[in-house]
Amino acid sequence: MKTAFRLTTGDDFETAKGGSLPGLPGHDDHLLDAYSQAVIAAAEKVSSAVVYIDVLHRLKGRRAADPRFPREVQGSGSGFIFTPDGFILTNSHVVHGASHIDVVLSDGRRVIADLVGDDPDTDLAVVRIDAPNVTAAMLGDSNAIRVGQLAIAVGNPYGFQCTVTTGVVSALGRSLRSTSGRLIDSVIQTDAALNPGNSGGPLVNSRGDVIGVNTAVILPAQGICFAIGINTAKFVAGRLIKDGKIRRGFIGVSGQNVPLPRRLVLAHNLPVESAIQVMAVEPNSPAEHAGLRAGDLIVAYGEHPTAGIDDLHRLLVEEKVGVRAPMTIVRRSERRVLDIVPQESPTKG
């Protein structure tokens, strides 16, 4: 099949500028204008709350002692003010372990910021500034968004302040693995372009309400970007402001996901066909106190089956800390139930 191409003449260009092209309905120009107006209004509403975050990280170990290397390295990212008294949401990987944090406001003011708390497990953090006359972004509802709706990202990629990119919500309910190894649930996928420096900036809807916190891209793919849902961010930010951290359960094992032999599944009427094989047990941990051993297969925690490590992570929430629960294991083809009391997860440095 042949494809025909036609060069645009000067007359065609005038038609394209001022009128409707042949075969296209006349109202398409109005649709484009409506799209532009939506992006402009949303960007203007949120941009004054978007900040540039400049951080210094003090090197540790041998590199810190080596005179060939600087003692501190610089990093940067984005964030947005979400309360009138200067609380700012950003990503944990932007500010975690920082020795100094500066925030540059949309009007050019540079202010020293204090780290309120960060949570590597959700890649979220809260910092605070003491500055008058700041504008707070409006927070939306990430449960109300739909696939295909307009998504607008605002941030500071490569230091270019208040850069606006647009796209759509590509998918909902994605899971993204954080630097700590835990899965972040209810992640928004978007094709609004994100680049280094966008991390921590807002993803907003057509009304300018924040629906997510931009966090990651998949390289070298194009148009596959992710944002933490704002409902998750609201919960985490509230706990960080209150306690400075998020409490989670810890049992003290390292393990890997393994398939279960079919005979074991049938013999014990197990609800899963895979389990967590314990590779090591930390000394003086809840797992050791409960009698867990290397080689055991964890198949359930409480009344919930655990087909893998991610299932166990989802169950070890704050409410489980200090609460005794039965853990079902298979040891040398024998099914056993151990009582375990999770401790609070130790703080990661």
DSSP 161-177: TTEEEEEEEEEEEEEEE
Residue 149 corresponds to which amino acid?
A: Q
From 219, 246, 273, the end of a domain falls on: 246
Question: Catalytic one among 76, 178, 199, 274?
Answer: 199
* DSSP secondary structure of 255-304: EEEEEPPHHHHHHHT-S-SEEEEEEEE-TTSHHHHHT--TT-EEEEETTE
Contact 110, 104 (CB under 8 A): yes
pLDDT per residue over 190-247, tens digit each?
999 999 899 999 999 999 999 999 998 887 778 899 999 999 999 999 999 999 988 8
Give the structural domain span for 65: 30-246
Q: What is the CATH number of the domain that holds 35?
A: 2.40.10.120
Same domain, 143 and 161: yes
Whether 134 is covered by a domain: the verdict is yes
pLDDT per residue over 250-271, tens digit each?
999 999 999 999 999 999 999 8
CA Rg value for the chain: 25
pLDDT of amino acid 28: 67
Contact 29, 20 (CB under 8 A): yes
**Helix/strand/coil (H/E/C) assignment for every residue in 135-163:** CCCCECCHHHCCCCCEEEEEECHHHCCCE
pLDDT of amino acid 158: 87
Q: What is the CATH number of the domain that holds 323?
A: 2.30.42.10
> Helix, strand or coil for residue 2?
coil
Contact 226, 216 (CB under 8 A): yes
Question: Catalytic one among 118, 119, 121, 123?
Answer: 123
> Helix, strand or coil for residue 344?
strand
How is residue 283 written in tokens? Answer: 């000394």
From 200, 231, 246, the end of a domain falls on: 246
Same domain, 179 and 290: no
Q: How far, CA to CA in Å, does 251 sit from each of 137, 340, 341?
A: 39, 8, 8
- The reply to whether 30 belongs to the active site is no
Question: Catalytic one among 54, 76, 92, 93?
Answer: 93
Give the chain's residues under pLDDT 70.
1-29, 31, 61-69, 347-349
- The reply to whether 199 belongs to the active site is yes
From 198, 229, 246, the end of a domain falls on: 246
Please count the structural domains in the chain.
2
Same domain, 242 and 272: no
- The reply to whether 268 belongs to the active site is no
| Nearest CA among 308, 304, 302, 297 for reference residue 267 | 297
Same domain, 65 and 206: yes
